[in-house]
Amino acid sequence: MLAVAVATFSYGIWNGKKIRVFAAELSAAKNNHNFSSQVEEIEQSFKESGQKDIAGIRDEANQLKGQLDAIIRESEAAKGEIEVAGAPKLAKPTKDLAVDYFSKVNRQAADLKGMIGFMGQIIEVAAVFGKIGESASLEDMKGLIAKAKEKSSAVQAEILPPDIRESAKNLKDSMDTFLSKLEEVASLASQNTAQLDAAYADFSRKEDEFFSAGKEYIDGMENLDIMEEKINSDIERLGKVKFSLK
């Protein structure tokens, strides 16, 4: 009986140490890959992008894509570090929660990257035909329209989350229609400026609808702060375990 008691006590001490080691490893992984606040800032930047000019949106889109690439990389690395960490039974729920947390951070960052990437593609087209001024010659207009159509052909709604792809496709189709009407007027194939005005109005409306759909999608994203708070609480609790048979 004494031998069994000693063995049980020794196991409990050893297992408690393993739990504390896991808590320390998880804490280090979180500290090394702490970017939840960055995701929130990027979400807010997308929501406010409709209030900025073309140059501002273009510069910000490039910057945010770089930040999101880093978050995607780091969240995947953090998930990998936690997956290989040894976790006794008592710590297993926390390990699973942390893996799920970083998986969701990764997915949300990828979704945001797709949204900002698509927005950037649209802005690249708008920046071209935005250069067409009243003093532009017909040849200048034709060249700019051709360049805008070339950039429009590279716009991909497939990079977006499925829930907002339809709104994105509608925006691209409307933009292509506007460019076609603009080309007809520039080439003198049509003098119907009413159709051109209507096409531009539809493009503007579809643009507003896409931004609204994007904001709604972001608002519907899971708030990961609750998961993070639970993980932090678990790290503190597990870090104090001295003895455990689980």
pLDDT digits (tens, 9 = 90+) for 56-99: 667 777 778 888 898 899 899 889 988 887 777 888 888 899 99
Residue 85 has, within 13 A of its CA and on its CB side, a CA count of 27
Angle CA 165–166–167, to nearest 5? 90
What is the three-class DSSP state of 125? Answer: helix
Please name the residues in contact with 208: beta carbons below 8 A apart, sequence gap of 6 or more.
Answer: 50
**Cβ 76 vs Cβ 38: under 8 Å:** no
Output phi, psi for 133, to 5 deg.
-110, 175
The strand ranges marked E within 38-184 are none
pLDDT reading at 164 higher than 90: yes
Q: Does pLDDT of 6 surpass 50?
A: no
- What is the 8-class DSSP label of residue 134? T
4 has a pLDDT exceeding 50: no
Q: What is the mean pLDDT of residues 107-126?
A: 88
Helix (H, G, I), strand (E, B) or coil at 161: coil
Chain segment 11-50, per-residue pLDDT in tens = 567 666 777 887 888 888 877 777 766 777 777 777 666 5
**What is the pLDDT confidence band of residue 7, given thresholds at 50, 70 and 90?**
very low
Mean pLDDT of 200-217: 90
Q: Quick check: 1 pLDDT over 70?
A: no
Q: What is the CA radius of gyration of the chain?
A: 27
Q: Is the pLDDT of residue 175 over 60?
A: yes
Q: Name the token pair of 242.
A: 């001295």
Amino acid (one-letter) located at 180: S
Which run of H or of E encompasses 177? helix 165-186
- DSSP-derived letter for residue 159 is G
CB atoms within 10 A of CB 54: 12
Phi-psi region of 122 (alpha: psi -120 to 50; beta: other; left: phi over 0): alpha
| Predicted confidence band of residue 134 (pLDDT cuts 50, 70, 90) | low
- What residues does each domain of the chain span? 36-233
